[in-house]
Amino acid sequence: MNFKDQLKKDLDIFINPKEFADFHRLDGIEMPVVIDEFTMDEFSGPQKLESAMEGIYQSTKTIYVKSAAYSKPKVGYRLQLDEEDYEVIGVSENMGMLKIDLSSYES
């Protein structure tokens, strides 16, 4: 077994519902997805936001899917994960896996 074969085997374990992944609906298609825990951070930026923006929180998630199962989205794409809308804020593809960073805003 060469190195590439070993990586494919490891990917099959990582994106396996019996191991790390769970089934989720990604843009209406059910597939195994690994979700990194989300964070809730108070919305802030380099400048003070207007008082109307106070209490707005940013929720971020990172998801991992097989690149063969889902087309690589572009940054800014509105993605739906389990019937909730997110904006793609980062995406990378490496050795058969997509890492997609998602963001949404909540109050």
State the pTM of this model. 0.78
**Rounded distance, CA 59 to CA 8, Å?**
31
Query: pLDDT tens-digit profile of 27-48?
Result: 999 999 999 876 555 545 544 4
Write down the pLDDT at residue 40: 52
Q: How far apart are the first and last CA of the chain?
A: 51
pLDDT of residue 51: 38
Q: Residues 44-50: contacts with CB within 8 Å, 24+ apart?
A: none
pLDDT of residue 47: 41
pLDDT of residue 99 exceeding 50, the answer is: yes
Assess contact for 65 and 33: CB atoms under 8 A. Answer: yes
- Domains in the chain, ordered, with CATH? 3-42+55-106 (2.40.10)
- C-alpha 79/C-alpha 87 separation (Å) is 6
Q: Which pLDDT tens digit goes with each residue over 48-80?
A: 454 345 667 778 899 999 999 999 999 999 999
Q: Which of 35, 40, 79, 43 is nearest to 60 (CA)?
A: 40
